[in-house]
Structure 1
Amino acid sequence: MTQTLFLRSADVDGLATPGEFVDAVREAYRQRGEGAPAEPRTKLTNADPPGFLTTYAAVLPETGTMGGYMYSAGFGAEDAWFTTPLFDAESGEPLAMLDGASMNPFKTGATGAVAADALARADAASAAIIGSGPQARGQLRALATVRDLETVWVYSPTKEHRESFAGEMDRSLDGSVAAVASAAAAIEGADIVVTATSAGEPVFDGDALEPGTHVTAMGQYSPGKRELDATTIERATYVPDLRERALQDAGSFLHALEAGVVDEDHIHGELGDVVAGTVPGRQSDDEITVFDSGGTGIETVAGATLLYEKAREEGLGQTIDFAPGSEALTGE
């Protein structure tokens, strides 16, 4: 038997700061850039009742942990349930099982911030956030740890949502955060654009992007959905979280491929390649860059490890017994 720590969402909620998530995720992507294994998501769908089951995984050898996500959405409950197993990368023993719901926006936001830090202009001081849900909140909080944001414009289709989001963020961040009436107004003059939506069609016109803009798109992980139009992909230095995922479920990139405006060589490199320095990041102030964030086990394992270590320090969670396969199968 080995003792494994079970951590509820309430145990880990607020346990780490956005900056700590960013540091952990940056280190994880550096390891990926130097060869750490990671796989893109698998998605199994069900027709009746409608829903899907998703998994993805990664090994972080230097961190000493491995694991990933398994989550369901839809089905009869019409909700989502996130589980995060974490294993010791040397012994293989299970270290923890986390309810991953509250971690989700933080580790995803940290990934966007790592990408912005590597790809946005060093003097970037304004941002557009398209979306006003938990993921948008996580993206903005993390982004504010890597750039001194003076002005943030927020757009989402529902007026009450965007105004509420802007008011909350304006009170919690140093810069000014305000709601605007359209995506076009949000991206005008923005140094960094973040899309955090469930939109099936592009949320802004790529011709309107000004030279030097960085875009993080994190709501497009289905071949049939795309937050960015083909023009944006064509104009940009394109960096996905995983190259294999870009060719599997990155809807915007796949649409641009189908339209014939780019080919597979348009993939500049993975985020890990940029963080590790094996491919260059931004190369000019006029360059438009895109980070395509569909979700991987890299940031999941990094975030889960961070929370596991902090929970142990604070004595949080409860232990459960896991039987090794040899003992469970043989009874010895």
Structure 2
Amino acid sequence: MQVLNIETVKQQLTMPMAIEAIEALLKLQNKNPNWVKSPERLVIPTSADIEQHQSGSHLSMPCVMFDGENEFAVVKLVTICPHNPKRNLPTTVATITVSDTATGETLAFMDGIYVTQVRTAAISGVATKYMANSDSSTVAVVGTGGMAYEQLNAVLTVCPNITEVMLWNRTTDKARDFKAAFERDYSQWNVKLTVCDTVEEAVKEADIINLATRATEGLFEVDQVKPNVHINAVGAYQPNMKEVSDSIIEASAYVVIDDLEGGKHEAGDLIQAHDNSNCDWQWDQLSGQLLDLVSGSLKVDTDNKDKGITLFKSVGAASFDAAVALKIAQTAKRDQIGQAVAL
């Protein structure tokens, strides 16, 4: 078994690699639906009655994948710790195991923090590739926490014409920290980053908006964005959370989700829109899932400047983690990367 810490994972995992793995997974699922078994993840709230411990959650995410020759079991364990930024630790902490189901051999045990960040971002990257206008030049990043770095990296990977990035966070200092860190760590992108005082300022001229917040109400309305904007919403991962307003959802020409089964229990934006008697949007108006875009059964004319608002909602699924982690594990075993441990 190869043990890979976060630094080793970072050395192996690139954004193009993750995007390729996600697209390959979705094509595999479309062609052979029974080859990927990914039950809905188990979510356990972690709310202790002590002041030092803010409400979070623990998730168990198993998946079994057959690639045509071999079958693998991949399990990710996640703990979401909202107070961790105050400890200079990531909010989302995770570990992943990859096993061969034929022998039960564990191929790899790896830190899952970076895998989670990159695969979440890669999903947005795939959605952006198929839904955003091809000549998009401006991105708004709303919420500048740990997930936002790779989410922006993913959008820049699939949209080569981006030149300007507008940043907004409830805490302005955190947005400034994001700007400095991104300019330092992602210097390959020749983009101008600007910290905005208000969310309205950040989104008003954006062609693409990345959302990654723990908001409980919509952050902006439809009249505050461009009529053909593309929105990637990866926050609001519980039913009581909401970062996309009902007016945006109602006005969207396309609403796509990565995992419908999980979304109906976790996608707070869409759940609340569906349940709101004053909102016209219902689940049966969903345009489709990410798999439909990649397979070609759902198409957005990204060259059409009048395509309308496109909204992608991501809740995540174990299969996405499995696709990326398996690629890392196979490389690690082949090249003896990480620390070899005998069980």
TM-score by length of 2: 0.84
One-letter amino acid matched to 2:10: D
Contact 1:184–1:208 (CA under 8 A) maintained in structure 2: yes
Hey, what does 2:255 align to over in structure 1?
Answer: 238
Of 97-106 and 112-121, more deviation after overlay is shown by 97-106
Change in CA separation of 1:15 and 1:212 when aligned onto 2, cut-off 3 Å: same
State whether structure 2 residue 305 is matched by structure 1 residue 285: yes
Displacement, 1:200?
A: 2.1
Displacement, 1:248?
A: 0.9
Q: How far apart are the structure 2 equivalents of 1:159 and 1:48?
A: 30
Matches within 5 A, 1:53-132: 53-62=58-67, 64=70, 65-74=72-81, 80-88=92-100, 93-132=105-144
Q: How far apart are the structure 1 equivalents of 2:241 and 2:156?
A: 28
Q: How far apart are the structure 2 equivalents of 1:115 and 1:252?
A: 18
Hey, what does 2:266 align to over in structure 1?
Answer: 249
Q: Deviations over 1:100-152 (max 9, x none)?
A: 12222111111110110011111112111111122100101111110021111
State whether structure 2 residue 68 is matched by structure 1 residue 52: no
SS in 2 for 1:85: strand
Q: How far apart are the structure 2 equivalents of 1:315 and 1:94?
A: 14
One-letter amino acid matched to 1:250: A
Displacement, 1:270?
A: 0.9
Contact 1:155–1:180 (CA under 8 A) maintained in structure 2: yes
Q: 1:263 aligns with which of 282, 286, 289?
A: 282
Change in CA separation of 1:196 and 1:94 when aligned onto 2, cut-off 3 Å: same
Contact 1:22–1:114 (CA under 8 A) maintained in structure 2: yes
State whether structure 2 residue 172 is matched by structure 1 residue 175: no
Q: 1:304 aligns with which of 316, 325, 329?
A: 325
Q: Deviations over 1:270-310 (max 9, x none)?
A: 10121112322447532211111112112211221232233
One-letter amino acid matched to 1:270: Q
Unaligned runs of 5+ in 1: 323-332
Q: How far apart are the structure 1 equivalents of 2:257 and 2:305?
A: 20
One-letter amino acid matched to 1:181: D
One-letter amino acid matched to 1:302: A
One-letter amino acid matched to 1:278: S
Contact 2:74–2:326 (CA under 8 A) maintained in structure 1: no
Change in CA separation of 1:33 and 1:288 when aligned onto 2, cut-off 3 Å: farther
Displacement, 1:80?
A: 4.9
State whether structure 2 residue 14 is matched by structure 1 residue 17: yes
Q: Deviations over 1:188-225 (max 9, x none)?
A: 12111000122222222233222211100001210000
Q: How far apart are the structure 2 equivalents of 1:59 and 1:31?
A: 13
One-letter amino acid matched to 1:131: G
Q: How far apart are the structure 2 equivalents of 1:266 and 1:132?
A: 31
Contact 2:2–2:336 (CA under 8 A) maintained in structure 1: no
Displacement, 1:156?
A: 0.7
Unaligned runs of 5+ in 2: 50-54
Displacement, 1:59?
A: 3.7
Of 77-86 and 116-125, more deviation after overlay is shown by 77-86
Contact 1:6–1:318 (CA under 8 A) maintained in structure 2: yes
Which has the higher relative contact order, 1 or 2, with Cα contacts under 8 A spaced 6 or more apart?
Answer: 1
One-letter amino acid matched to 2:331: K
SS in 2 for 1:102: helix
SS in 2 for 1:103: helix
Displacement, 1:320?
A: 3.8
SS in 1 for 2:12: coil
State whether structure 2 residue 165 is matched by structure 1 residue 158: no
Q: How far apart are the structure 1 equivalents of 2:81 and 2:249?
A: 31
Displacement, 1:68?
A: 3.5
Hey, what does 1:328 align to over in structure 2?
Answer: none
SS in 2 for 1:14: helix
Contact 1:33–1:271 (CA under 8 A) maintained in structure 2: no
Q: 1:213 aligns with which of 217, 229, 232?
A: 229
Contact 2:107–2:333 (CA under 8 A) maintained in structure 1: no
TM-score by length of 1: 0.87
Displacement, 1:37?
A: 3.2
Q: How far apart are the structure 1 equivalents of 2:112 and 2:8?
A: 11
Change in CA separation of 1:312 and 1:43 when aligned onto 2, cut-off 3 Å: same
| Identity in percent | 24
